Amino acid sequence: GGSFLFDSASELQSRSIHRRLRTQEKREMQKEILSILGLTHRPRPHLWNGKYNSAPLFMLDLYNALNVDKKNELDASWNPNKSVFTTQEHHLATVQDNAYLNEADMVMSFVNLVEYDRELSPNRRHHKEFKFNLSQIPEGEKVAAAEFRIYKECVGTAFHNETIQLSVFKVVGKRLDRDADLLLLESRQLWAVDEGWLEFDITATINLWVMKPHHNLGLQISVQTSIGENINPKEAGLVSQGGPLEKQPFMVAFFKVKELHIRTPR
């Protein structure tokens, strides 16, 4: 119930302009700030999976990295001899992400919409599918970079000292009576004992999905052992549905504004 714009305490004492806003005024002010933020309405997110899913955590890392950079800029302006490099603790964001971040006007993460594994054909029974809703990308944004990120845990005994091959596919066609048509985007050899986030560049795919939303049929992954045997990605340590929240796969896209946003006159 407090007012949302206020002067500092000292100024409050010296001025008498401070007052509580009426409900209607507050609503008008909220509308105005939403308009500045480029939003037509107040978002109502469904936080059934918690705020501390991997995607919000990753984004918070990026946000903190931005603010550390800003603080360093300020420090440098006070003391030019002071080094602007500080140690940053990034749990998720990589150096590459920070490079994208400096160029980007907007970063957006997308949660995987596939909650439960669907029964795929026997040929594809070890494939995992991922889907992302790109419908809320504002118009006029150009995708500068996009990554699909999946977490791999260390696999203990079963494949010790072995390599596995992880392949990421784009679904390019779906028919009722047969397997989906897939296009291989990238294949990567991994050690079974590797642990950490794996990033796959899917910039071209996202650009296509933004331009032609009906092409957005999702991604699939498959895992093969060194002798070419298909295994369940879970056995290879790849975290998906049912795994820890902070290790859930997600997609992130870095955008550059293509055109000037003009606010609608009221």
Partner 1 sequence: SVGKPRQQSRNRSTYPQEAQKGPGQTVDHNSSDQKTACRKHELYVSFRDLGWQDWIIAPEGYAANYCDGECSFPLNAHMNATNHAIVQTLVHLMNPENVPKPCCAPTKLHAISVLYFDDNSNVILKKYKNMVVRACGCH
Residues in contact with partner 1 by CB under 8 A are: 2-8, 11, 26, 30, 33, 36-38, 42-47, 49, 51, 55-56, 59-60, 62-63, 66-67, 104-111, 133, 135-136
Instruction: Closer to partner 1 by CB, 86 or 102: give it.
Output: 102
Nearest-angstrom CA–CA distance, 202 and 17: 53
CB 138, min distance to partner 1, A: 9
CB 121, min distance to partner 1, A: 29
CB 212, min distance to partner 1, A: 19
Instruction: Closer to partner 1 by CB, 136 or 161: give it.
Output: 136
CB 80, min distance to partner 1, A: 18
Nearest-angstrom CA–CA distance, 240 and 221: 11
CB 60, min distance to partner 1, A: 7
Instruction: Closer to partner 1 by CB, 93 or 180: give it.
Output: 93
Give the residue from 110, 127, 109 showing the smallest Cα distance to 118. 127
Instruction: Closer to partner 1 by CB, 111 or 120: give it.
Output: 111
Q: Which helix (H) or strand (E) holds 189?
A: strand 178-191
Give the residue from 146, 251, 148, 237 showing the smallest Cα distance to 196. 237
Instruction: Closer to partner 1 by CB, 61 or 126: give it.
Output: 61
CB 2, min distance to partner 1, A: 5
Say if residue 20 is exposed, middle or buried (CB neighbours under 10 Å; 0-12, 13-18, 19+): exposed
Instruction: Closer to partner 1 by CB, 26 or 215: give it.
Output: 26
User: Hey, what amino acid is at 250?
Assistant: F
Contact between 128 and 117 under an 8 Å Cβ cutoff? The reply is yes
CB 202, min distance to partner 1, A: 16
Instruction: Closer to partner 1 by CB, 81 or 136: give it.
Output: 136
Say if residue 112 is exposed, middle or buried (CB neighbours under 10 Å; 0-12, 13-18, 19+): buried
- Torsion-angle region of residue 262: left (phi > 0), alpha (psi -120 to 50) or beta? beta
Give the residue from 248, 123, 225 showing the smallest Cα distance to 167. 225
Q: Is the dihedral of CA 120, 122, 123, 126 positive or negative?
A: positive
